[in-house]
Amino acid sequence: MTGRFGGKVAVVTGAAQGIGRTVAERLFAEGAEVVLVDRAELVHEVSGGLISGGRKAHGVTADLEHHAGAEEAMTEAVERHGGIDVVVNGVGGTIWAKPYQHYPPEQIEAEVRRSLFPTLWSCRAALPHLIAQGGGTIVNISSVATRGINRVPYAAAKGGVNAITTALALEAAPHGVRVVATAPGGTDAPPRRVPRGPGAQDDQERAWYQQVVDQTVGSSLLKRYGTLAEQAAAIAFLASDEASYITGSVLPVAGGDVG
């Protein structure tokens, strides 16, 4: 599908690692001018490796848990490329895994800040630009963990991402803007170079995390984790003109687990 995004400008958030990075690389390979956004400086190393036929990707460091960071990132993309056609909101991810009664209040708030607000702010920052140019596509990355164990705050945040997707699609459609989402299941990825949190620290925390893994695999009809390429393929499809009659939908990409 080389050239599917030729002439388009795509902003991918959470692009330093994982699904976000793989999506950015795929959209770039398919012809997009790509702006990679992340709060980790690693994003500049990743963007610096994307060069093809005179095209270069552009990295932006921004903290998308705050509106100012999202606004700065979208403004920089518009000023650099003249507009935005696609926004992929990939910031998020479980920080801790434990039964809800073991979460202290500060961890609950941190989970919601990490996995809800970056999408909320990035949609708000990008939408005026998309409306002004008469169209575009927002792809939010949610999760099937809205029905999952040991991640209630994260599940709540991703439920919010689903609500953003369906509600904003109604408002944005008259302006030619599509809003869609994928809901990934468990996904194999290399070890994170910038961790989200401290990770499991003792036998109990490791056991709680293993319960998440077991439930994730058990809920998948295919009984396995997905790959980064499988997640990126679904996101790229929804972002492309091939999905021009799809909006307001959340597509599970989880081996049959619908969340």
Q: What are the extents of the domains in the chain?
A: 9-253
Is 87 in contact with 11 (CB distance < 8 Å)?
Answer: yes
Q: 154 catalytic, yes or no?
A: yes
Amino acid at 99: P
> How far is the C-alpha of 140 from the C-alpha of 255, rounded, in Å?
19
| Residues in CB range of 184: below 8 A, 6 or more apart | 19, 141, 142, 143, 144, 226, 231, 253, 254
Per-position pLDDT tens, the chain of length 259: 468 999 999 999 999 999 999 999 999 999 999 999 999 999 999 999 999 988 899 999 999 999 999 999 999 999 999 999 999 999 999 999 999 999 999 999 999 999 999 999 999 999 999 999 999 999 999 999 999 999 999 999 999 999 999 999 999 999 999 999 999 999 999 887 887 777 767 999 999 999 999 999 999 999 999 999 999 999 999 999 999 999 999 999 999 999 8
CATH 3.40.50.720 fits 9-253, yes or no: yes
pLDDT value at residue 221: 97
Is 168 in contact with 123 (CB distance < 8 Å)?
Answer: yes
pLDDT value at residue 53: 85
Pick the catalytic residue from 100, 103, 154, 209: 154
> How far is the C-alpha of 121 from the C-alpha of 221, rounded, in Å?
34
Query: Six-digit token pair at 73?
Result: 């990132």
DSSP the chain: -TTTTTT-EEEEESTTSHHHHHHHHHHHHTT-EEEEEESSTHHHHHHHT-EETTEE-EEEE--TTSHHHHHHHHHHHHHHHS--SEEEE-----S----GGG--HHHHHHHHHHHTHHHHHHHHHHHHHHHHHT-EEEEEE--GGGG-TT-HHHHHHHHHHHHHHHHHHHHHGGGTEEEEEEEE--B--PPPSS-SS----SHHHHHHHHHHHHHHHHH-TT-S-B-HHHHHHHHHHHHSGGGTT--S-EEEESTT---
